[in-house]
Chain A
Amino acid sequence: MKEEQSKPAPEYLLGSPEQQSWMKKYFFSPRGLGFLEPGIVGLDDAKMSAYNVAKSSYQIRPDVFNMNYLSKTVGLGKEEIIQRMQRMYEQRTIVFVMNPAVSVYGWGLYYWMVKLNENTPPEAKAELSEWFQNKDDICTGYECQGDFDFYNGNHMRVIDNLLYDVLEPWKNRPEVKYVHLCPIRRDLRESHVNQFDCPGDGYREVLWGPGQIEKLAQVQDKLDLTDLKIIQALNAKRPMEDFFDFKVLAEVSGLDEKAMLDGIKELVEVKRIIVPLFHLNFMKLDLTNRMFVIRLFQNIPCCRKAEISDELSAIKEFNTVKEFSDSFYDIILWAYNEITDIPALRAKLNSYSEIEEIKEADMTRMYRRWVCRLDDQNGYWEECVFTDDFLQDRTQPGGPECTIRKGAK
């Protein structure tokens, strides 16, 4: 990894030709700002059928994915790939999910960091952890050890609902030192897959650092190199024709092959509002993620902040890269401890003179992967619980609220 010097902010003034040129390079996706953007479809829309059929059936029909493509890419017979995928699913090491471009759906994507006081009893942390695990509005969340103790996220339309319903119940407990909101401004990469806001033409590219895959095959005993190559191939950027097997999708569902292809192609490739991908459940592999949360000096211009996010996203070892706005903190980056040169990454980050502070913590438990529960230990593996606070006012006692709550197994 080659260290880079910090750069001056791009030279432009609002309204100048340079700004226009900047805009061409840094075109931000439309933001829903509480309402749907035109062209958005519901997650159960017919255009989502290919994804929905695959999501509902891949557990018993892995061949909903394009085995011709996978076989050719990985160099294995289809049957072996199917068997390996079934084993990986049974091991709970992989789960098929999707990322919707939440902002164009009108949600804010609010992450928040929680730090507990020193000497907080472990049982107090465990109690909070269970609450976060079972709070359905927390669509993605993590328990951590290090400079902070939790890092959780909600997609919500109303900030008040977040404050009153999700944070209020516990944030004034004596063991809580601070809660910092980290609203997402740009989602550049998740689960090794570039997202809607990544720079250039990198959308849906899959990134692993050099040698990471090989190292991963060595540091755990559940997945071998072939398995990992299958996972890489499953996520590889390719046309939807090669992603799913539409004949199998039609066979499973009775729906029209062409309509399913056209629908998902439009959403993933043209509108770019859905990214289907396989999430690697690192918990089952005894891996931990190192999270770097970066605060820039407050006199850094916004345009430079975006540039820094982009530069850091070029580092393939980071499996997740997001940029915050309206927050104490500005960027978050993750990399697996066990297969990454963490000191080198830290040194790289420290080479940026724009960075004022870096907080670090290791993620030891992941509650959900975007509404999909991962807590196999509680019997809720892949229970998908979608919440939406549309039309809800959770500041009022007795008002309407999400009816989906923790219940019996």
Chain B
Amino acid sequence: MKIDAPRKYVIDNLKHFLNPSSIAVVGASRYPAKVGYKVIQGLKDWGYRGEIYPVNPRADKVHGLTAYKTITDIPGPVDLVFVAVPAHLVKMTLEHAVAKKAKIVVIATSAFKEIGRGDLQDRLTQYCRDNKLPLFGPNLVGMGSPYLNFNCGFIPYLPIKGPVAMISQSGANLLAALGNSTTMHFGMSFFVGLGNKADVDFSELIEYGNTDPHTKSLAIYIEGLDSPTAFVKACTSVVPNKPIVVIKVGGSEIGVKAAFAHTASENEGTSDAFYDQLFEQCGVIRATTFQEFLDISLALGLQPELKGDCVAMITNGGGSGLLSCDHFERLGQPMQELSSISPDLGLRIRTYMPMFGSPLNPVDISGTASPVHYKGALRQAMRDPNVDMVYCSICPTAVTDVPGVVDVAIEMYEAYKPLGKPFVMECQGGAECLEAIIRLRDHGIPAYATPEQAVNAIVALRKYSKIKEKFSKKK
């Protein structure tokens, strides 16, 4: 349901959302394949330390914990109510949650507006609003934070710690991102599935993300915006501090219907151009593909903004350099020749490449480059005051010491971090590259498997710099 601006009581209560001192799981089940079982299992397995109260009128115990017939039978206070009962029991559950003075209610249950029960969903939402009980969902998968050892929902992974807050209407895509986090070390600060987002809106979570110390960038998957005004207000106030990346789906002819059936998102009468304009207006960066969405939000979370257009690329593979410079140009941010960035830099870097290398930009230090060559070239580029950022690529040959180059890259990054220049890496090849990417990410360096991914990330860093400048002035 529509809101005009982020609501204070919601934002105030959001502190209980990821860090509740007690949780009532309504619909707690004794059967491992049921959602109500997985929720408690997830809380326990991932180290939640607060009180867990299973609610199930048929059971005496669930997961070895005393089960209560209703929320109101629970002896202690309840911060968060997680609802995993059929839709027809949600109304009664909300009444009990209000009676118990719960701080937040999270509804995993489906079968509301997305199947034509919009009226019921609206009535329940209004009831929660009347009682100042923020409602998440319905039709969501859950939420959590690796910093709080909190995984609440039917979510098989807890992501690794990192800078990106992931706010997603789609449970499946959120789970994909969480899975990616564990395999590709895409670090997150917190994550939340919003589902139908009947009550708590993107805008309120954006405001929350702004206050969260672990969050450095926000990644938002949108199927429909019910409250564009509130969204614009929240983004406008947050983007001077933290970058926001969005992916907006459901814009295709059939996607409009699919988005409604999925999360009751209404896109009738809107267009991609409408959203482009809206996102431009509030300073958020729009990704087109899910991979791009992940790639650029990671870079924005890990690295400072790119304050100029002078990007120096160091690579041992001319091919990756060519793919990169073409993609830069496609995205409207063409690379500049090294000589135009810094007249002497090419000469200085030449020391670290064979005679058949190329000191243009991309700087090709050749397929025989060793960690020593990389170190010298990287150091020269990073220290040059005319270089706004360094982009480094590894294309392993039989003589490339990939772990050695990674060591050098990490060393140089750490050494010159105080200069505030972004650093992005690309490593294309086999298993050693996957390991390299993971290690680099673990050290705060956004690293990717293809040049296009890296270039997308760099262009987003530049865009954010311009956004920040524009919105800081407005502020």
Contacts and interface: CB of A to CB of B under 8 A. Distances in A.
Contacts of A409: 30, 61-64
Given A255-B120, A407-B37, A408-B32, A60 B70 contact: yes
A396 B123 CA distance: 49
A185 to B, nearest CB: 32
Contacts of B30: 379-380, 383, 407-409
A57 B59 contact: no
Contact of B31 (A59, A60, A254, A383): A383
B64 A252 contact: no
Nearest to A403: B33
A254 B124 contact: yes
Interface in A361-409: 379-383, 385, 403-405, 407-409
B69 A59 contact: yes
Interface string B1-43: 0000000000000000000000000000111111001000000
A49 B57 CA distance: 19
Contact of B88 (A49, A60, A379): A49
Interface string A27-54: 0000000000000000010000100110
B57 A254 contact: no
Interface string A159-188: 000000000000000000000000000000
Contacts of A60: 57, 69-70
Interface of A: 44, 49, 52-53, 56-57, 59-61, 252-255, 379-383, 385, 403-405, 407-409
26 contacts: A49-B88, A53-B89, A56-B85, A56-B88, A56-B89, A57-B89, A59-B57, A60-B69, A253-B89, A254-B88, A255-B88, A379-B30, A379-B60, A381-B59, A381-B60, A382-B58, A383-B31, A383-B58, A383-B59, A385-B31, A403-B33, A407-B31, A408-B63, A408-B64, A409-B30, A409-B62
A407 B88 CA distance: 27
A252 B69 contact: no
Contacts, number: 71
Highest count of chain A CB atoms <10 Å: which of B30, B34, B86, B90:
B30
B42 to A, nearest CB: 14
Nearest to B32: A407
A379 B59 contact: yes
Contact of A379 (B37, B57, B61, B87): B61
A252 B92 contact: yes
Identify the 8 closest CB pairs spanning chains A and B, nearest first: A407-B32, A59-B57, A254-B91, A253-B88, A382-B58, A404-B33, A53-B88, A403-B33
Contacts of B85: 56
B134 to A, nearest CB: 19
Contacts of B37: 407
Contacts of B92: 57, 61, 252-253
A144 B70 CA distance: 37
Contacts of B34: 404
Nearest to A56: B89
Contacts of A379: 30, 59-61
A57 B120 CA distance: 18
Contacts of B90: 254
Interface residues of B, number: 28
Tell me the interface secondary structure of chain B in the complex.
loop
Nearest to B121: A254
Contacts of B61: 379, 409
Given A254-B120, A383-B29, A403-B33, A52 B86 contact: yes
B88 A252 contact: yes
Nearest to B123: A254
Given A56-B89, A254-B120, A405-B33, 17 more contacts: A52-B86, A53-B89, A56-B88, A252-B91, A252-B92, A253-B89, A253-B91, A253-B92, A381-B59, A381-B60, A383-B31, A383-B58, A405-B32, A407-B31, A407-B32, A409-B61, A409-B62
Contacts of B31: 383, 385, 404, 407
A381 B60 CA distance: 9
Given A252-B88, A252-B91, A254-B120, A59 B33 contact: no
Interface string B112-156: 000000001001100000000000000000000000000000000
A382 B90 CA distance: 20
B120 A59 contact: no
Contacts of A381: 58-60
Contacts of B124: 254
A287 B91 CA distance: 39
A57 B55 CA distance: 12
Contacts of B29: 383
Contacts of B59: 379, 381, 383
Interface in B38-87: 57-64, 69-70, 85-87
A380 B67 CA distance: 12
A59 B69 CA distance: 8
A380 B30 CA distance: 7
A385 B64 CA distance: 20
A145 to B, nearest CB: 29
A383 B28 CA distance: 11
Contacts of A57: 89, 92
B89 A252 contact: yes
Contacts of A52: 86, 88
A404 B29 CA distance: 12
B345 to A, nearest CB: 60
A238 B60 CA distance: 34
A385 B32 CA distance: 11
A254 B69 CA distance: 20
A56 B57 CA distance: 9
Given A252-B92, A381-B59, A409-B61, A56 B33 contact: no
A10 to B, nearest CB: 48
A253 B124 CA distance: 10
Nearest to A48: B88
Nearest to A385: B31
Highest count of chain A CB atoms <10 Å: which of B61, B92, B124:
B92
